[in-house]
């Protein structure tokens, strides 16, 4: 009897430990059902904000163009060279703000403070990446710069992951230290 009870306790403890390992969101103390709900909410908010982004994105891209133009002129590009690059509808390429905002809104258990931190940290980082990406296209196209090409391709790949990296950094205490 005594050995059987001990085995049951061990099995129960092992099951509990496995459940913790299965949930990579364990720091947020979510059940599997809550994780599914979080993902569904993330997708719904992403879809909604993507529709909004079609209208806001053009303004955002205008701000990026403004700052990139200042940098490009400082780098020695002429206004004629700058205007030769047609970037209409380029704002759709900056859609990584969509998952950033969706993660800030959909993450369960966050207070307004965490949601605000996600936006306050994430938007400037993504903005700088977008400006750098635009600026790096010029030496890549005009001079065939391999370094600029590396920067453009790196931002292209890393930019997709950046909202999730920012989210993880903001969630670090809950993920790792919980």
Q: Give residue-wise pLDDT tens across range 19-31.
A: 554 444 555 566 7
Q: Where are the domains of the chain?
A: 31-176
pLDDT the model gives residue 5: 61
Q: What pLDDT sits at residue 21?
A: 47
pTM (two decimals): 0.77
Q: What share of the chain is helix, strand, coil (3-state, %, to 5)?
A: 85, 0, 15
The token pair at 125 is: 């980082």
In tens, the pLDDT along 139-173 reads 988 888 899 999 988 988 888 899 999 998 888 76
Pick from 67, 77, 80: which is nearest to 138 by CA?
77
């Amino acid at each position: 009897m005594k050995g059987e009870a001990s085995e049951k306790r061990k099995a129960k403890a092992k099951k509990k430990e496995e459940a913790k390992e299965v949930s990579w969101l364990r720091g947020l103390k979510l059940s599997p059902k809550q994780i599914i709900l979080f993902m569904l909410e993330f997708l719904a908010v992403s879809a909604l904000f993507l529709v909004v982004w079609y209208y806001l994105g053009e303004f955002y891209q205008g701000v990026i163009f403004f700052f990139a133009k200042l940098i490009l002129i400082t780098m020695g590009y002429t206004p004629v060279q700058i205007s030769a690059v047609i970037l209409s509808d380029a704002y759709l390429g900056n859609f990584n703000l969509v998952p950033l905002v969706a993660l800030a809104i959909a993450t369960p258990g966050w207070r307004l403070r965490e949601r605000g931190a996600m936006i306050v940290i994430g938007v400037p980082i993504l903005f700088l990446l977008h400006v750098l990406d635009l600026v790096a296209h010029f030496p890549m196209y005009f001079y065939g710069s391999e370094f600029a090409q590396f920067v453009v391709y790196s931002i292209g790949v890393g930019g997709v992951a950046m909202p999730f990296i920012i989210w993880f950094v903001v969630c670090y205490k809950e993920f790792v230290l919980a």
